Amino acid sequence: MNDQDIKNIYQQLLAEDSPDPRQVSFKRKSAMRTLAHIICEEEHLQADVLLNGQFYETKGDKGQVLLKKRPQYEELGRLRDRKLRYSKELGIQLSPMFGDEFD
C-alpha cells in the first residue's frame, strides 16, 4: 500500500460520489479518505492471506498439533467490518451482489 494507491482510490470514490467534488463536505471527504486507507489495507492483507493461508500450525502443551488463525486473517475480518460501516455511513453500496446481505 502506498500513498499513490490511496490517492487513486480516494479520487475514484470522490468522482463517483459527486459530479463536483468541491461541493462535498470536509467531513464526507475525510470519511472517504479513511475508507480509501481501509480499502488499500484490505487489499494488502488479502494478498498476504492468499499467499500464506488463513491458519498456522503450532503444538499444544501435550504435543498435539493445533491450527490457529493467523493474526492477518483475523485483522482482515475486522477491517472488512470497518469498511462496511464506513460504506454504509457514506451511502456507498460495495457490491450489488451482497447489497441486501448487510441491510
| pLDDT tens digits, 29-42 | 999 999 999 999 99
Mean pLDDT across the chain, nearest whole number?
88
- What is the band of 86 on the pLDDT scale with cuts at 50, 70, 90? very high
Name the residue among 102, 10, 57 with its Cα closest to residue 94.
Answer: 102
pLDDT tens digits, one per residue of 51-85: 999 999 999 999 999 999 999 999 999 999 999 99
Q: What percent of the chain has pLDDT over 70?
A: 89
**Global pTM value:** 0.80
Name the residue among 30, 1, 29, 35 with its Cα closest to residue 15.
Answer: 29
